Amino acid sequence: MDNKILELIKYGDAALKEAGIEKGKLEAEMLLCHVVNKTRIQLYIDLSGFIAQEKIDQYKSLIKERMRRKPMQYILGTAAFYGLEFMVNESVLIPRPETETLVELALEHINNRFERMLSVLDIGTGSGNIAVAIAKNSNIVEVFAMDNNEKSLEVAKRNAEENGVKGKIQFMNRSIYDDYEELKTTIDGYIDVIVSNPPYIADDQVEKLMPEISQYEPHYALAAGADGLEFIKKIILVSNGLLKYNGVLIVEIGDDQKRDVEAFASRYFSIEFANDLNGVPRFLIAEKRG
């Protein structure tokens, strides 16, 4: 084949397929686009365009990284979530499509409350995806986003800035194990809505996940003790202390955790569950009753 661009894509496709990556062609195209800073359409319109050797070398090294199963989002440095773009690196979890439903549920709840201003707390904000998506899509929220990892907070702050909601979110370096009376002072009282996509995988299951996850995503964003319920339970307890009456906690849970979460959360809250797009119970919606 004499055309350079098609040849490079074909090379990348074959290499990625050999590494067990299904969408080899698409990903090869995306990596080439990234290196030459063009969209896929621009790439295909000018198939005979010149590509410097330096760019070709760069492309080949990205293909190698992907062959080692580094997630595309970490290679490209961005991930899409709720129609927005988020910067990501290996200190934060890559935002997942199912978590978009959590944002949807939170916004529904916020918009049904008819209140002037609502306070929203995102526990374990990571890349800031949930906090930013909520801030971006509601005019009546004041958002607090906490994480106990300074590197994640740096990413989250940048994402708030890039998405134009920096002024609507207050970031805090806090752990759910900190004294929450002190947290209450910082957030100036009680909270209307708490959201969280906490780690919820049992410790010994993390290494069994696909290599993109087990080898590259931060284990502190995934692993949650022997049964995977450590943080969910702690968040339920903390939320019970932080929420206003009629306030609501919406938290993402793992496959098969509904029964245990139901038993635990119903001691404190009036609860229901919502499914993800695959029909799996994925979100606990817990309301604090007076």
Closer CB to ligand GLN, 31 or 224, in the complex? 224
Please, which residues have CB within 8 angstroms of residue 83's CB and are 6 or more apart in sequence? none
What whole-number distance in Å separates Cα of residue 230 and Cα of residue 118?
28
At 86, is the secondary structure helix, strand, or coil? Answer: strand
Q: Residue 234: count other Cβ atoms within 10 Å of its Cβ.
A: 17
What whole-number distance in Å separates Cα of residue 61 and Cα of residue 63?
5
Closest separation in Å from C-beta 159 to ligand GLN:
11
Closer CB to ligand GLN, 16 or 156, in the complex? 156
Closest separation in Å from C-beta 251 to ligand GLN:
11
Closer CB to ligand GLN, 101 or 119, in the complex? 101
What whole-number distance in Å separates Cα of residue 125 and Cα of residue 84?
16
Which of 88, 84, 60, 57 is closest to 72 using CA atoms? Answer: 88
* Partners of residue 141 on adjacent β-strands: 118
Tokens of 96: 């997942």
Closer CB to ligand GLN, 119 or 152, in the complex? 152
At 3, is the secondary structure helix, strand, or coil? Answer: coil
- Closest residue to ligand GLN using C-beta atoms: 126
Q: Are 73 and 97 in contact (CB under 8 A)?
A: no
Closest separation in Å from C-beta 258 to ligand GLN:
19
Please, which residues have CB within 8 angstroms of residue 2's CB and are 6 or more apart in sequence? none
Per CB under 6 A, residues contacting ligand GLN are 93, 95, 99, 124-127, 129-130, 197-199, 221
Closer CB to ligand GLN, 127 or 163, in the complex? 127
Closest separation in Å from C-beta 88 to ligand GLN:
9
Closer CB to ligand GLN, 16 or 153, in the complex? 153
Closest separation in Å from C-beta 34 to ligand GLN:
22
Closest separation in Å from C-beta 7 to ligand GLN:
37
